[in-house]
Each structure stands twice: as C-alpha cells, then as structure tokens.
C-alpha cells in the first residue's frame, strides 16, 4: 500500500520521517476501518430493521455492561498506544544531538533570514549539508511565524522575544520547500523558503563562494532570481499591479515622488539606496515597511537587481 502513503504524504527527506509516517498511516487505516465498520453496521441495521408497520414492537434493551466495557476499553487501549507512539517521535524531534550544527533563522514579514556558524547570511535559501544534524534556532522580529518543512515532517513557531529550536538530519540531497504556517498578514502565503540539502563539497563551496550556479548566471537573470526568492516579489509586482510597494514596471529613469514631496530620479544609486536603506526615501502613498537588505545581498545580487529593473520597460 505504498501508493496510498505516497498519495497522502510528501516525499520524506529527514530522519524524523519514519516515526511520523508509521503512526500517520496507522491512524489513517484506523479511521478508514471505523468509517466503513460504522457505515456497515448502520446500513445493516437500516436494511434489516426498516419499519414496515407502525405497530411494530421493539425489544426494551436499556444497556449491556459487558458490551459497553468492550467498546470503552478497546478504544482506550488503542488511543494509549497512539499516545505513546506519538510521544516517542516527539521526544526524538525534541532532543537535539550535541554535535548538531547551529543555524539561526529569523522570521520577519515576509522573509526568512539565516545565519550560519561562520557568519554567512542568506535570505530564504538555507543550505545544509546532507546526513549531518542541524539545529535551527528560531526567532521573529515582528509577529509569530512558523517554520514548516513538510518533507522533513517538522514545524516550530518562531516567536518574537523568544528562541525556539528545531533539529533535523537531512537524508536526501535536493531541495525541500519551507512554508510559514502561522498567519502573519498580507504576505503570509508568499513567505516561502527553500532548504538546499548539499553534499559536503557543495556545502563547502557554498560557504566560500555562494551558490555555484548563481555565480555563472548573467546579471539580468540573477536579478530576476533575487526578485523571486528574496522576498521582493511579495510586495513589488512586475506588471504594474499595485502591491505593498511600488511596481517595478517601467520605473527606470522615471521620477518617484517621495513622502517628503521631492522628486527622485530612479537610477542605479537610487535603487541601491532603496535596497540597503529603504527608510531613507519612501515613495508617496506607501507604508515605510520594507526591511533593510544590508548584509543580506551580495554586491553582485544588487547589480543584478539594477540590471533586471532596467529591462522592465
């Protein structure tokens, strides 16, 4: 019945998967069984004892202690088994191994920021080495967010003013999707991140040089990638639709009127300043809500964004 599990659950890619999937499928079969069991009893009763005359007399059965004990104690035994099973998996996901590599993950409307042991920082893309325990220390800068990796069967809230923890050992190289699962406002459903499970060599290269493929990308394409993955797309559209921030369509070489009433030419310096010091000049009619990207984008990524915006006529 593997097809049924594969239909219900996403790919499994961490050491927590086995425990959780086993219990999940157990309860699933229990649910399916009792649905059909109860359904069959009801169907049988309705067919067998359908009223044919209003004069029918039914037996006066008030209770049956033995039967009632059976249908109280058997469910009790089953749910206690489920409790212990669930507890076992939870303890495992709770107790972090001592040798786990620590990465700090901070949620803020509507991006995830990661800081690695060597000081490297990334936005929305988390690189981890395969087959090595990783501990994420979660916190938030504004409201509550929640860090959810379905393929690892893991989730933990990121709470402002507190630290929560999450740990995993990724078992399959590849990309795992991350969602925010605590409602956090307009950009909630776009607050996505990805976990890149790297081989040890890939991971070393990443720490040294950043992502390999990204290195080779033309600036313009890099800019689009940054727009998609670093949270720009949540607020800035490419087609002129008004979002949380101004659309980027056709803004190059145009003038923006700031909240201060002055006009500003949209050129390379303007874009650079808007990315690194977004509060310095806010376009009229928009809220000053953009977080700074200081230290979060590589020089080449900023250049990429400038090239990308240039092309958006």
The correct pick among 2, 54, 98, 313 for binding another protein (CB under 8 A) is 54
Pick 45 or 277: Cβ nearer another protein: 45
The correct pick among 13, 93, 251, 303 for binding another protein (CB under 8 A) is 93
Pick 1 or 61: Cβ nearer another protein: 61
CA-nearest of 180, 176, 313 to 250 is 313
Structure tokens at 282: 């806010």
- Confirm or reject binding of residue 63 to another protein (CB under 8 A): yes
- Distance CA(117)–CA(97), nearest Å, equals 17
- Distance CA(178)–CA(180), nearest Å, equals 7
- Confirm or reject binding of residue 4 to another protein (CB under 8 A): no
Total of chain residues touching another protein, rule CB under 8 A: 82
The correct pick among 104, 130, 137, 159 for binding another protein (CB under 8 A) is 159
Pick 3 or 71: Cβ nearer another protein: 71
Q: Is residue 117 helix, strand or coil? A: coil
Site string for another protein, 98-117 (x = CB under 8 A): --------------------
Q: Is residue 228 helix, strand or coil? A: helix
- Distance CA(135)–CA(1), nearest Å, equals 34
- Distance CA(13)–CA(202), nearest Å, equals 18
What angle, rounded to 10 degrees, do the helices at 268-276 and 299-311 form? 130
- Distance CA(254)–CA(116), nearest Å, equals 39
Site string for another protein, 235-274 (x = CB under 8 A): ----------------------------------------
| 8 Å CB contact between 260 and 271 | no
Site string for another protein, 70-89 (x = CB under 8 A): -xx--xx--xx-xx-xxxxx
CA dihedral 121, 124, 224, 259 (to 10 degrees): -80
Site of tokens 């984008």: 297
Give residues 177-236 in contact with another protein (rule: CB under 8 A): 177, 179-190
Pick 210 or 243: Cβ nearer another protein: 243
- Confirm or reject binding of residue 277 to another protein (CB under 8 A): no
Pick 80 or 280: Cβ nearer another protein: 80
Give residues 294-313 in contact with another protein (rule: CB under 8 A): none
- Confirm or reject binding of residue 164 to another protein (CB under 8 A): yes
């Amino acid at each position: 019945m593997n097809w049924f599990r594969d239909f219900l659950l996403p790919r499994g890619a961490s050491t927590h998967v086995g425990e959780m999937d086993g219990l999940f499928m157990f309860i699933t079969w229990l649910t399916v069984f009792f649905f059909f069991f109860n359904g069959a009893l009801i169907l049988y009763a309705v067919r067998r004892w359908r009223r044919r005359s209003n004069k029918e007399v039914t037996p006066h059965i008030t209770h049956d202690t033995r039967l009632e004990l059976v249908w109280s104690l058997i469910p009790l035994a089953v749910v206690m088994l489920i409790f212990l099973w669930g507890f076992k998996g939870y303890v495992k996901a709770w107790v972090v191994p001592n040798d786990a590599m620590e990465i700090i993950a901070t949620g803020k409307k509507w991006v995830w920021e990661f800081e690695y042991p060597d000081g490297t920082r990334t936005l929305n893309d988390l690189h981890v080495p395969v087959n090595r325990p990783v501990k994420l220390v979660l916190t938030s800068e504004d409201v509550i967010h929640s860090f959810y990796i379905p393929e690892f069967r893991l989730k933990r809230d990121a709470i402002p003013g507190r630290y929560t923890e999450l740990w995993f050992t990724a078992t399959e190289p590849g990309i795992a999707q991350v969602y925010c699962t605590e409602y956090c406002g307009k950009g909630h459903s776009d607050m996505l991140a990805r976990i890149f499970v790297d081989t040890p060599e890939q991971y070393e290269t990443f720490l040294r040089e950043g992502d390999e493929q990204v290195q080779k990308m033309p600036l313009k394409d890099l800019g689009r990638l940054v727009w998609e993955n670093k949270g720009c797309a949540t607020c800035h559209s490419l087609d002129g639709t008004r979002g949380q921030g101004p659309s980027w369509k056709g803004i190059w070489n145009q003038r923006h009127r700031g909240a201060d009433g002055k006009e500003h030419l949209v050129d390379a310096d303007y874009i650079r300043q808007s990315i690194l010091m977004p509060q310095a000049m806010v376009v009229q009619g928009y809220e000053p809500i953009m977080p700074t990207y200081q230290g979060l984008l590589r020089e080449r990524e900023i250049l990429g964004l400038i090239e990308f915006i240039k092309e958006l006529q």
